[in-house]
Each structure stands twice: as structure tokens, then as C-alpha cells.
Amino acid sequence: MPPEKGSVDRAPLRAAMLFTVSPDFVPIFQEEYRALRPRAPIPPIALRFRRFTSLNTTIRLREGHIHVSLSDLLEGAPETVIRAIAHILLSKLYRKPIDPAQNRRYKRFASSAAVTRQTELIRQARGSKRFSGPEGRFYNLDEVFESLNLRFFGGLLGRPELTWSEHMAKRSLGHYDAAHNTIVVSRVFDRPSSPRYAIEYLLYHEMLHLKHPVRMRGLRRCVHPPEFKAEEALFPQLAEAMRFIKRL
């Protein structure tokens, strides 16, 4: 994902370890600032590397100072990539058009096999995953998984960690975390009014992500390839499940 303007959770930032930034980085940001705003005075720019759990970057303007936080995964990145990141962040901060060439340059770097693998390893090492377990008040995800595995996958799909979410999330009803090999299902489904077919569909969808991992098509991430959608359409109560989910 391209760098985004905005803030991140305060707790991870407080816990993050700060690193000395290469002196070459500030001039790069100054040069990109001058290219975007040729008549404006360059404000003081502070840059720091942080031990993020992903290839994350943030930028903020506070009291006339620009504050940039870069993932320490970028410490060894080529200057052209740092320049692309500087351009993208500053463009978003000042609401300027992003140069497509710079955007492609960053995406090509972020989606490369080496960087993708390194990011996944960092997420495994640094990221934390809180598990409430598969046993809910009304539904057991282990039991639902085994039933679906036999029906649709011949019992051959390896079982990941299964857990209900900590909260009654409605925005993220379920997701598969490849770094931690975990399927999380929103606790909003763990109630007697939830039909079993809705939970089965949601879990079946995430199980398909295990079978069909995310892959790259050029610079784009393909999350739901054609074979994924074809197998998803085999779920017998797909329409009913989708109607129920839309009513949540």
C-alpha cells in the first residue's frame, strides 16, 4: 500500500524504538518540497525511523514543522525509493497531484518479493495477536471449520488458528492474517439470532484465502482471483448469507 498521510495508534508509537536517521534523508525531503512548492519557504523537517510492524510511513504538520516517521525497513532503500516516498507524502500533506511515475516506483519496491517477505517476517516477529479462542457462547469455530473442511476441501485444508474477535466489530466481520496464520471472526455473529449458514459462509470465505493466497498482478495485489470467486459461488446459501450480513 502506498504511504498514507495521517496518524497511527498512539500506543504503538510510544512503544516504538527510535533510530538515527541518515543525514541524506532531510535534503531529499527538502528538494521534493521545493519541487512541489517552489515559492513557499521550506519548514523545518524532522525525520525518524520507527520499529513499525509493516512498511509504514506517516507525515504531519505541527506548528509549522513537518514530522516524518519512516519504517526502519526503509533504512537500506535506494535513494530513488526514498525520493518517491518523500514526493508521495508531501503531495498528500499539501493536497497536490501525485506523479504516477513516483507512485509506480514506490509500488514496485513495496511489492517486490524481497520486501514482501521481509515485511511478513517483521510482522511475525514484532506484531502481536490477541486470541480469545474458537469457543464462543453459541458457536465453536473449530467445529464449523472442520465441517466446512470436509464438505468443500475434502478435509485437506490445514487448520489455522481460529478465534473470535475481542469486540463486536461490524466493519471487519472476518479476516485471514497470513503473518500469524489466523482467521478472526467478528463476535457479532456469536449470538442465537445468527443463522449458522452466515457464520459458515464467512468462515468459508476466509478459508478460501488460505487456499488462494494474495498474489501480485504487475503492481497490483490480487486478493480475490477468478478461481477464488468461482469457488465462493459454490456456497449453497450465498445469497441468504449476503442478505443477512447486509442487515447487520
The number of domains in the chain is 2
Instruction: Report the pLDDT value the prediction gives residue 52, as an integer from 0 to 100.
Output: 79
pLDDT category, 10, cuts 50, 70, 90? Answer: very low
**Would you say residue 1 lies in a domain?**
no
Residues 118, 173 within the same domain:
no
pLDDT higher than threshold 60 for residue 1: no
> How far is 96 from 134, CA to CA, in rounded Å?
47
Query: Per the domain annotation, does 4 fall within a domain?
Result: no
DSSP secondary structure code for residue 39 in this structure:
T
Q: Of 10-24, 52-66, 163-177, where does the model show the most confidence?
A: 52-66
Tell me, yes or no, whether 115 and 23 share the same domain. yes
In a domain, 189, yes or no: yes
Q: Do residues 21 and 105 both lie within one domain? A: yes
Same-domain status, 97 and 179:
no
Residues 121 and 165 in one domain: no
Residue 31 belongs to domain with CATH number:
3.30.2010
pLDDT of residue 64: 93
Q: Is 3 a member of any domain?
A: no
Does residue 3 surpass a pLDDT of 60? no
Domain of residue 208: give its range. Answer: 141-247
* DSSP assignment letter at 156: -
Cell reading at 221: 495485489
- The yes-or-no verdict on residue 62 having pLDDT over 90 is yes
Question: Does 147 lie in the same domain as 119?
Answer: no
Higher pLDDT, 49 or 147: 147
**pTM for this predicted structure:** 0.56
Q: Is residue 132 part of a domain?
A: no
- Give the strand pairing for 18-19 and 45-50: antiparallel
Note every long-range contact of 154-158, with CB atoms under 8 Å and residues 24 or more positions apart, other chains counting.
157/207, 157/210, 157/211, 158/210
pLDDT at residue 155 in the model: 92
Residue indicated by cell numbers 468459508: 204
With respect to residue 134, please indicate whether it lies within any of the assigned structural domains.
no
Q: Is residue 109 domain-shared with residue 85, that is, in the same domain?
A: yes
Domain final position from 93, 126, 159: 126
Same domain, residue pair 64 and 108: yes
All 3 cell numbers of residue 169?
Answer: 466489530
Cα 82 to Cα 59: distance, rounded to the nearest angstrom: 14
Average pLDDT along the chain? 84
CATH number of 160's domain? 3.30.2010.10
Q: Are residues 29 and 81 in the same domain?
A: yes
pLDDT at 9: 39
Shortest CA distance to 162 belongs to which of 137, 188, 136, 138?
136
Please tell me whether residues 119 and 161 are part of one structural domain: no
- Last residue of some domain: 97, 126, 155? 126
How do residues 202-245 score in pLDDT, each as one tens digit?
999 999 999 998 776 766 778 888 999 999 999 999 999 999 99
Other C-beta atoms closer than 10 Å to the C-beta of 59 total 24
Which of residues 126, 159, 181 is at a domain's end? 126
Same-domain check for residues 37 and 95: yes
Q: Both 113 and 172 in a single domain?
A: no
d(CA 139, CA 193): 11
Q: 3-class SS at 108?
A: helix
Chain-centroid distance of CA 91 in Å reads 22
Task: Determine the pLDDT at residue 136.
Answer: 92
- Is residue 166 scored above 90 in pLDDT? no
